[in-house]
Amino acid sequence: MANALQAIYKWAVPLAVGASVAQAAMYDVKGGTRAVIFDRLSGVRENVVNEGTHFLVPWLQRAIIYDVRTKPRNISTTTGSKDLQMVSLTLRVLHRPEVKMLPRIYQNLGTDYDERVLPSIGNEVLKAIVAQFDAAELITQREAVSNRIRTDLLKRAQEFNIALEDVSITHMTFGKEFTKAVEEKQIAQQEAERARFIVEKAEQERQANVIRAEGEAEAADTISKAVAKSGDGLIQIRRIETQKEIAQMLAANPQVTYLPSGSKGSGEGQGGNFLLGLRSEWILLFYAKAFGTNYGLTAKLPKDSFKYTQGTPKEHVADNGSGTMLHREFCDNCGSFILEYGEPAKNDFRYICVGSLDDPEALAPKGEFFCKSRSSWMPEVPGTFQKKEIKE
């Protein structure tokens, strides 16, 4: 038993020392990394150790591990443009060391090569390139600026044996004054575009009105020729068509009720064929369509239901033949008839004209048709309107 313990003690120490030496002589190079060997006798070796498990001489040699995978780094700087505008830029760089040049990198820069090199060359290139462009060009030619920065930064990084996989501008801001000026310029451009659109729209509307007026003039000329050729037959046809349209509109409206006249046994009628539920504007529309606008149609409206929004009317007063003064108002610019009212109703009602009463050829400058019983109500007003009697 004692001999066995002595044997164990005899070999334990050498085995422990041997295991420690073997452990110190082995090192692992993991995936995505490379190793550089530093020898105390010969210095840094030129060969690069690849991935896997390798051996070295303990104490005399040491392995320096480098990560050779691509890593991102942001470089930020604030510099002036060509027109002296302050610009803040952030550059994103994907970099890695040149594997074959790792011994040189270790000799010149050490293991923190990216911290030593990239910030300095990044700021240098950014300031040099940005100074060649105006602030507006940095916005409109951003791709060209990015390409210039990438090209120059690649050249500078190669001098330090650093490979750049990608270089891109991720952030660009300007001073408050310049940003405000750009916004005001954009607003001004939008206002100019809107003004141009309004002008074009007005021109299109003007052309449409011209075309519409030409079409109406041609239609009026055609109707005049037809009336001259066939008498009032065309007018009667149009009147029948309008009455038919009015009947259809009334029939389709559930709120309008027709009360026919009653009759006695002899067939003599009583009452009066009433239409209930008609709105005043419908009545005016029906009469205007059925009889045209040269018959002096008027609508009785409360005085307070309308007002003049522009201009001042010209007023004429005359006796209507029964001792009651009749007031009439005309447009001060064109002389068109607007409304009339009797002296007793001056505070209550107004009779508004429906349609145009103009007949430029027969009644120049302005005129109106009157029946004989009404002709004496209002004398002619020189320069405003003339009268033309029609049969009852």
d(CA 175, CA 139): 14
- List the domain boundaries for the chain: 23-69, 71-174, 185-230, 232-278, 293-390
Written as six digits, the tokens of 389 are: 């009697």
Picking from 32, 155, 164, the residue whose alpha carbon sits closest to that of residue 93 is: 164
Collapsing DSSP states into helix, strand and coil, what is residue 250? helix
pLDDT at 112: 92
Q: What is the DSSP string of 71-116?
A: EEEEEEEEEE-TTS-EEEEEEEEEEEE-GGGHHHHHHHT-TTHHHH
| Owner of token pair 């004692």 | 2
Backbone angles phi, psi at 32, to 5 degrees: 80, 10
Pairing type for strands 257-259 and 274-276 reads: antiparallel
pLDDT at 164: 94
Q: Which CATH superfamily is domain 71-174 in?
A: Band 7 domain (3.30.479.30)
Low-confidence stretches of the chain (pLDDT < 50) are: 259, 261-278, 280-297, 355-367, 369-371, 373-374, 390-392
Written as six digits, the tokens of 264 are: 């006695």
d(CA 115, CA 138): 28
d(CA 121, CA 104): 19
Tally of CB atoms within 10 A around 183: 10
Beta-sheet strands, E only, within 98-222? 162-174
Tell whether the torsion through CA atoms of 84, 85, 86 and 87 is positive or negative. negative
Picking from 59, 33, 60, the residue whose alpha carbon sits closest to that of residue 48 is: 33
pLDDT at 235: 66
Q: What is the pTM of this model?
A: 0.46
